[in-house]
Amino acid sequence: MASKSASTVTAVTVDLLMLYKKYHHTIMADNSLDFSYHEKIAKDLDVEIHFLCPLHCMETRKK
């Protein structure tokens, strides 16, 4: 992928996963700006998008 802009990441993600659409129900994404168009990915692939919890968040849950 030449560019890592949100629009490029969205287009590539949808293109690659469209072939496997019936096998995907959820996608885990990091909190970077690359996934700014997560709503389009969710709509096009009919999946739920979940975002990773930052490490400090996970540490506070253990207590």
pLDDT in tens, 3-55: 678 999 999 999 999 999 899 899 998 888 889 999 999 999 999 999 887 76
pLDDT reported for residue 30: 85
Is the model more confident about 28 or about 56?
Answer: 28
Q: What is the pLDDT of residue 32?
A: 85
Taking CA atoms, 55 is separated from 35, 52, 60, in Å, by 19, 9, 9
Q: Is 42 exposed, middle or buried (0-12, 13-18, 19+ CB in 10 A)?
A: middle
**pTM exceeding 0.85:** no
